Structure 1
Amino acid sequence: MSEPHETIHLSLAEASKRLGVHATTLRRWADAGAIPVYMTPGGHRRFASGDIEALIAGERQHSHELYKLEHVQYTSGSGMIPTATVRLLGPDGQIQTDSAQGTGPVDAIYQAINRLIQRPNELTEFAINAITEGLDAVAEVTVRIREQGAPTTDTNASTTTSLTGRRQEQGIYSGYGVNTDTIVAAAEAYMGALNKMLAARKERIKAEAAAYAAGYASDPAGLPHDLFGPSH
């Protein structure tokens, strides 16, 4: 775990400008506890730049959200088998709940999520960083996963840019979580990566279907016959 860096504080006007919201909106979020706020001796609100950047990254990640993490609970300790229960809100609006055991609390949570979503992937990177200081420090977790069966050696594969600015090959998806509970942040990060993977798969299927339809319209005889079932 890296050492916390020096905190830079922003005024209400500076923070709201960076977020692209009205100062009144940011003030309401702070009063509701949606974002940490610090008061100066003079009574002015100050916001840690790390908290603002985390909120921005979280909003970008939510644009890919197919499954929403509603609840996560875990137990772990000396002499105990790490166990986790997660509750997800699915694309169909249905609540799904499952539990699993793992080698640690994070592994147990990821196993429970995998039981619900059932999309094979490989965790390729897991990183934790403290973005604020103190006993209530906010932890930032970044993960990267590889979709099972995705190409890893094709130098011509397309790339995307992760939230951290890193270029990444097609089939690799990053997720970002931030919470005072590092384990919960890890769950949020994993869900973010999974949602990006699922969204990309959905778009890929749509593109393939459109390509098949376009190809059939121009040359029906040139497409595989089994695509449309047995001929009669």
Structure 2
Amino acid sequence: EAAVMVLGKHSGRHAFKKALAELGYEVDDEELKRLFARFKEIADRKKQVTSEDLVALVEDERTRAPEMFKLVDMQVHSGLALTPVATVRVKTPDDEVTEAATGDGPVDAVYKAISRAVGLSPTLERYRIEATTGGTEALGEVMVRLRQGTVVVTGRGIAPDIVESSARAYLDALNKLVSGVGAREVIETP
């Protein structure tokens, strides 16, 4: 049984690369740079980053479509007696767009705001949350399935905050929708 590796916010690039190698990942300098930046973001918000977190991080990064749309900023206000409101800033190929929307819950509000920002509103067919590791500090992984006409895509997102994971998953799916990467045609059968 291999010991669970744990990295923290002070772990350097070398320790990070070594941990990835021990998990069986070969990474070039470009991928290492991207992964290390994401790792630092997560490590700043989470005391310990485990080997399971690293696997989730690499898999998430490797299944991404070209980023036509990228989440720049997001704010969500919700509470028991509040209508959830989300404001998102999304980088599009043309510009940065800020949009706000209300929803049935914080995730719904975020999805509506993102849809406005990018000008696409596919049908959300599936939404699933998984904690990749135990404890309240777990990284949350969200998987969504979107449909636009006969095209279906799956998006994944990972972050310490479940609403942010949800936004990342939605944008991942939207990027696949516009780029065609990972998209599949579903023929309707009566």
**Number of residue pairs the alignment of both structures matches:** 163
Q: For residues 134-185 of structure 1, give each alpha carbon's deviation from its aligned partner in whole angstroms, at most 9, with x where no partner exists.
A: 23111111111011x21xxxxxxxxxxxxxxxxxxxx110111111110110
> Secondary structure, in 3 states, of the residue corresponding to 1:129?
strand
* Counterpart amino acid of residue 195 in structure 1: N
Supply the distance in 1 between the matched residues of 2:49 and 2:4 (Cα, whole angstroms).
5
Is the CA contact (8 Å cut-off) linking 2:143 and 2:156 kept in structure 1?
A: yes
Matched with 2:98 is 97
The one-letter amino acid paired with 2:152 is I
Please list the CA deviations of residues 33-86 of structure 1 after superposition, one character each: whole Å capped at 9, or x if unmatched.
24549xxxxxxxx96232122222232244421111111110000110100000
In 2, distance between residues paired with 1:22 and 1:196? 24
Alignment-derived partner of residue 125 in structure 2: 124
- 1:29–1:35: 8 Å Cα contact kept in structure 2? no
Shift of 1:8: 6.8
Q: CA 1:103 to 1:8, structure 2 compared with 1: closer, same or farther past 3 Å?
A: farther
Cα 1:68–1:14 shift into 2, 3 Å: same
> Residue in 2 aligned with 1:55?
57
Which structure has the larger Rg over C-alpha atoms? 1
Q: Show structure 1 runs of 5+ residues with no match.
A: 1-6, 38-45, 151-170, 204-232
Relative to the length of structure 2, the TM-score reads 0.74
Question: Which residue in 2 is equivalent to 1:143?
Answer: 144
Classify 1:21/1:187 alpha carbon distance in 2 versus 1 (closer, same or farther; 3 Å): same
Q: Structure 2: which amino acid aligns with 1:19?
A: Y
Q: 1:9 aligns with which of 4, 7, 31?
A: 4
Task: State the SS of the aligned residue for 1:120.
Answer: coil
What are the Cα deviations for residues 196-226 of structure 1, in whole angstroms up to 9, with x where unaligned? Answer: 001119x9xxxxxxxxxxxxxxxxxxxxxxx
Do residues 175 (structure 1) and 175 (structure 2) align? no
Over the matched positions of the two proteins, sequence identity in percent amounts to 34
Name the structure 2 match of 1:20: 26
Q: Is the 8 A contact 1:36 1:51 kept in 2?
A: no
Change in Cα spacing, 1:22 to 1:16, as seen in structure 2 (3 Å) is farther
Q: Please state whether the residue corresponding to 2:88 is helix, strand or coil.
A: strand
Question: Which secondary structure state, in structure 1, belongs to the residue aligned with residue 80 of structure 2?
Answer: coil
Structure 2: runs of 5 or more not aligned: 7-14, 184-190
Structure 2 residue 107 is the aligned partner of structure 1 residue 106: yes
Say yes or no: does 1:29 pair with 2:27: no
* Closer/same/farther in 2, CA of residues 80 and 8 from structure 1, 3 Å limit: farther
Is the alpha carbon distance of 1:138 and 1:199 closer, same or farther for their aligned partners in structure 2, counting shifts above 3 Å?
A: same
**Residue 79, structure 1, aligned to residue 86, structure 2:** no
8 Å contact kept, 2:65–2:179: no
Tell me which amino acid in the other structure corresponds to 1:111: K
TM-score normalised by the chain length of structure 1: 0.62
| Separation of aligned partners in 2, 1:74 and 1:56 | 27
Alignment root-mean-square deviation, CA: 3.0
User: Aligned pair in 2 of structure 1 residues 51, 8: CA closer, same or farther (>3 Å)?
Assistant: farther
Partner secondary structure for residue 57 of structure 2: helix
